[in-house]
Amino acid sequence: MAARWAVAEAAAQRVLQDRLDDRSELTEPVVARTVLGATPSDHAVVLASSMPVRDVEWFSAPRRDHPVVLVNRGANGIDGVVSTAMGVAMSGRPVVALVGDLAFLHDLTAWVRPAGTGEPGCTVVVVDNGGGGIFSFLPQAGALAPETFAALFATPQAVDVAAAARGLGVATTEVSDAAHLAVLLGGSGDVPAAAHGLRVLVVRAPDHRANVRIHGELEAAVTEAVEHALSS
């Protein structure tokens, strides 16, 4: 039984490697994989609920020296995640956090801090898909008129996330390339994230429907590869 699991796991990992590594476009699966892959092992990765925690579980590559991964609420509950990241960083372990735009905005006051004190090493990667991308995976997304679905489920928002972060005095970079994100997170080994103090990296992600399609294609490819590996 364990041997079959190993065969299935290897087949799934080959597909994810093939489809996600060396891709420049920052889809949500690529962002998740890059965050866990590029964060130095002496850091902590703090994950928001909604899609970040799911995408990291589904799409990150196995890594023996992975950083410790922390979540404050599990799979649900988008509140307080930036505060949690800040608290972990203040304990001395530098942090890279991965949060959605709504989770980021929900906890915007986490960035209000005493003047003149040192800043902890806390990099927050915000996946900005303009609202709650997770809800487009619900069957209601296909059953309701788009305006009704948006009003009842999708929680659309149009805040300029980077401007909000800059307004709170946080060094902010908009990132649109996976290799650039990896370098900014310290994946190249020369500039650890801790050296940057407080920092926000904003990734503008594909829209909600495209995100569902991207997830569906990956799931179908993994399923096919696993079935093939197990039957041969």
Ligand X SMILES: Cc1ncc(C[n+]2csc(CCOP(=O)(O)OP(=O)(O)O)c2C)c(N)n1
Contacts with ligand X, residue ranges (CB under 6 A): 48, 50-51, 76-79, 100-103, 129, 132-134, 155
28 binds Mg ion (CB under 5 A): no
Show the tokens assigned to 194. Answer: 């801790």
By CB under 5 A, name the one of 67, 133, 186, 187 that touches Mg ion.
133
Token digits of residue 96: 């890279």
Residue whose CB is less far from Mg ion, 23 or 106: 106
Please, what is the minimum distance in Å from the beta carbon of residue 49 to ligand X?
6
Residue entry with tokens 């902890």: 120
Nearer to Mg ion among residue 16 and residue 103 (C-beta): 103
Residue showing the smallest CB distance to Mg ion in the complex: 100
Nearer residue to Mg ion within complex by CB, 112 or 158: 158
Cα(189)–Cα(62) distance, integer angstroms: 19
User: Which residue from 74, 76, 57 is spatially nearest to 66, judged by alpha carbons?
Assistant: 57
CA 204 to centroid of chain Cα atoms: 12
- Token pair listed for 123: 């990099």
As a whole number of angstroms, the distance between CA 111 and CA 117 comes to 13
Q: 97-116: which residues touch Mg ion (CB under 5 A)?
A: 100-101
Least CB distance to ligand X at residue 136 (A): 9
